[in-house]
């Protein structure tokens, strides 16, 4: 009897499952612009086909951009990634991206982070501010804001200059030897040294070679990041259990080293607090409170509990990662664009001559930056600011992903008045597509044109969102490499200050020459060929791959020449 009932039920169950699958593939999201889905694989198969036609190891954003183009450049598009991941809505329009990033009655602190952020838990830690929501996030952000205040960052010019001088020494050695080198590795090590000093008041010796004293922490960190690649944007961690286990072990080794540093810092902080108390009782003026991220995290805590230790560790992991990776990538692409844009390089050097005088020696520039008016000099670089902004427009290091829980009714409206409910889908604000929108940037949307930003008052300031209309040349949401809204990047001012200082110290002393992908196309006489847009022609095209963030696929292989 039971067997007969089971046999009768099986066709009904199969019919129900088939109908459910059919509904989810072809009906549930049918109103969204999308490619034709497969019944079994959704859009996974067609995305794979696009990937095979693309350049090797290319960043997934480039695949999305091609899909959007083939669909007629819709303001948003649907990608069904089930059963491997959640369904995804890729946002291609700055108007819709603004609706996702701003506060609303549904989400007072902006649309919640996507659960796919947990794929980075080995890098940033489970207690990371990036994974926090609502009030928890607000309290952490409030605690760390003083460490990234512009006035405080200007007091760090000495640290930034000192670390950059090590970078200059490395360039000098490569210039003398004539050897090729991966510029992105050098810039990332430089920015890791800077963020380590700023967040922890620790010298990680990231710019030392492995054979001459590079710290064990840096070696472990590099090994962990190198275990992330382009496939991680397409497949979840559980499809690679052995690799995830290796990530876990490396992450634990990093955790132990950070925890030792935190314990040492906490002990020093307690001693310093006792000294300040004694000075105050004796009527002496004590030193101000430290504002590095580690000190801010431990502030007011006489006891280092297990919970505080874990929370502090994961904030450090987050700031170390986010604070070095994106700025290092920015610098690598910036020097590349200068190397193939002679009119831009000439303008950059002319501005530096006007600000710092004709002596290009990095030591002389450093001396002027360290003078009492050094802060004023940093703020007298409008053209260099425009170059930084244009590099970030064309080569954003990362996008951002959100998700509205099912049943919340989170709806966005397109410029032509259509409404789309995004509940239950990953919402990906694709900066690569948004920031190359031809309806915003015109015929030069794909070109490197720093001059477009001259006179724009929003350049290089986290406070610019407070006054959206004043001095804007483009819609505010059309430039979002640091994202926007309450959860924008806390370190964006630091990134632009670092970039300005490093360009000031390096750009007049060295010429960079690309090797391999993206190298200059030379005529028979060996001279570079200038195109109609004022840039040197290159061969073949250089592009980004994905290693957590977007990085030059070849590591930005360069040679460098010292100018007379």
What is the model's pLDDT at position 231?
65
Percent of all residues in the chain with a pLDDT value above 90, rounded to a whole number: 63
What is the model's pLDDT at position 382?
97
What is the model's pLDDT at position 283?
63
Domain chopping of the chain, boundaries: 125-409+447-562
- Residues 77-115: tens digit of each pLDDT: 999 999 999 999 999 999 999 999 988 888 887 788 899
Helices and strands in the chain, H and E counts:
20, 13
Domain boundaries 125-409+447-562, CATH class: mainly alpha
What is the model's pLDDT at position 13?
76
Letter string b/e over residues 464-503, b meaning 16 or more CB atoms within 10 A of that residue's CB: beeeeeeeeebebbbbbbbbbbebbbbbbbbbbbbbbbbb
Decide the pairing of beta strands 426-429 and 88-91: parallel
What is the model's pLDDT at position 460?
47
What is the model's pLDDT at position 210?
59
**At residue 446, does pLDDT exceed 70?**
yes
**At residue 327, does pLDDT exceed 80?**
yes
What is the model's pLDDT at position 356?
97
Residue 350 is encoded by which pair of tokens? Answer: 């002319």
- In this predicted model, which residue has the larger pLDDT, 447 or 284? 447
What is the model's pLDDT at position 151?
86
Which of 143-147, 297-301, 327-331, 431-435 is predicted least confidently?
297-301
- Residues 168-208: tens digit of each pLDDT: 999 999 999 999 999 999 999 999 999 988 888 888 888 98
Q: Is pTM, for the whole model, over 0.85?
A: yes
First to last CA, the chain: 95
| C-alpha 421 chain-centroid distance | 28
Query: 489 a known binding residue?
Result: yes
Across 284-292, average pLDDT: 63
Spatial CA neighbour of 219 closest among 230, 232, 205: 205
- In this predicted model, which residue has the larger pLDDT, 284 or 474? 474
- In this predicted model, which residue has the larger pLDDT, 232 or 526? 526
The Cα–Cα gap between 163 and 154 comes to 15
- Residues 125-163: tens digit of each pLDDT: 999 999 888 888 888 898 888 888 888 889 899 999 999
- Residues 495-508: tens digit of each pLDDT: 999 999 999 999 99
**At residue 76, does pLDDT exceed 80?**
yes
196 C-beta neighbours (distance < 10 Å), count: 25
Spatial CA neighbour of 221 closest among 290, 140, 124, 299: 124
- Residues 31-67: tens digit of each pLDDT: 999 999 999 999 999 999 999 999 999 999 999 999 9
Name the CA dihedral angle for 228, 230, 234, 236, rounded to a multiple of 10 degrees.
-10
Across 2-23, average pLDDT: 78
Q: What's the whole-number average pLDDT of the chain? A: 89
Residue 415 is encoded by which pair of tokens? Answer: 């410029």
36 burial via Cβ count (<10 Å: 0-12, 13-18, 19+) = exposed
Residue 420 is encoded by which pair of tokens? Answer: 């789309």
- In this predicted model, which residue has the larger pLDDT, 217 or 434? 434
**At residue 559, does pLDDT exceed 60?**
yes
- Residues 242-283: tens digit of each pLDDT: 889 999 999 999 999 999 999 998 888 888 877 777 776 666
**At residue 229, does pLDDT exceed 80?**
no
């Amino acid at each position: 009897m039971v067997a007969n009932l089971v046999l009768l039920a099986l066709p009904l169950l199969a019919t129900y499952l088939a109908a459910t699958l059919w509904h989810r593939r072809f009906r549930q999201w049918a109103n969204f612009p999308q490619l034709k889905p497969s019944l079994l694989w959704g859009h996974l198969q067609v995305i794979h086909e696009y990937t095979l036609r693309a350049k090797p190891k290319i960043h997934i954003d480039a695949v999305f951009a091609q899909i959007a183009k083939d669909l007629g450049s819709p303001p948003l598009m649907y990608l069904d990634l089930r059963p491997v991941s959640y369904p995804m809505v890729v946002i291609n329009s700055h108007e819709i991206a603004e609706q996702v990033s701003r506060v609303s009655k549904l989400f007072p602190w902006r649309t919640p982070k996507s659960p796919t952020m947990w794929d980075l838990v080995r890098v940033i830690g489970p207690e990371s501010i990036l994974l926090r929501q609502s009030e928890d996030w607000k309290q952490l952000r409030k605690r760390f804001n003083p460490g990234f205040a512009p006035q405080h960052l200007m007091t760090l010019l000495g640290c930034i200059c000192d670390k950059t001088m090590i970078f200059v020494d490395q360039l000098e050695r490569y210039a003398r030897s004539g050897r090729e080198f991966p510029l992105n590795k050098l810039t990332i090590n430089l920015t890791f040294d800077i963020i380590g000093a700023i967040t922890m008041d620790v010298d990680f010796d990231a710019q030392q070679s492995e054979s001459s004293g590079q710290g064990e922490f840096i070696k472990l960190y590099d090994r962990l990041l190198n275990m992330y690649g382009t496939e991680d944007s397409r497949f979840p961690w559980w499809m690679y259990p052995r690799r995830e286990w290796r990530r876990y072990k490396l992450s634990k080794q990093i955790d132990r080293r950070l925890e030792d540093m935190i314990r040492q810092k906490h002990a020093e902080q307690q001693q310093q607090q006792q000294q300040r108390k004694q000075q105050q009782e004796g009527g002496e003026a004590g030193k101000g409170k430290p504002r590095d991220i580690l000190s801010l995290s431990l502030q007011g805590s006489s006891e280092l509990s297990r919970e505080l230790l874990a929370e502090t560790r994961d904030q450090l992991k987050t700031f170390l990662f986010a604070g070095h990776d994106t700025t290092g990538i920015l610098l690598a692409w910036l020097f590349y664009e200068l190397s193939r844009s002679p009119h831009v390089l000439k303008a950059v050097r002319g501005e530096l001559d006007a600000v710092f005088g004709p002596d290009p020696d990095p030591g002389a520039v450093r001396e002027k930056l360290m003078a009492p008016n050094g802060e004023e000099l940093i703020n007298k670089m409008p053209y260099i600011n425009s170059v930084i902004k244009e590099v970030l427009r064309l080569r954003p290091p990362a996008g951002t992903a959100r998700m509205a829980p099912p049943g919340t009714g989170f709806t966005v409206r397109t410029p032509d008045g259509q409404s789309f409910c995004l509940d239950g889908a990953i919402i990906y604000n694709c900066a690569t597509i948004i920031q190359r929108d031809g309806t915003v940037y015109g015929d030069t949307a794909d070109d490197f044109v720093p001059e477009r930003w001259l006179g724009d008052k929003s350049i290089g300031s986290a406070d610019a969102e407070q006054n959206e209309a004043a001095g804007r040349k483009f819609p505010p949401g059309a430039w979002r490499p640091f994202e926007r809204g309450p959860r924008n990047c806390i370190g964006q001012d630091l990134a632009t200050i670092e970039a300005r200082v490093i360009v000031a110290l390096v750009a007049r002393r060295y010429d960079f020459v690309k090797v391999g992908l993206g190298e200059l196309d030379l005529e028979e006489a060996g001279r570079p060929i200038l195109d109609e847009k004022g840039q040197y022609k290159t061969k073949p095209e250089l592009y980004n791959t994905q290693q957590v963030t977007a990085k030059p696929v070849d590591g930005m292989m360069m040679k460098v020449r010292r100018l007379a």
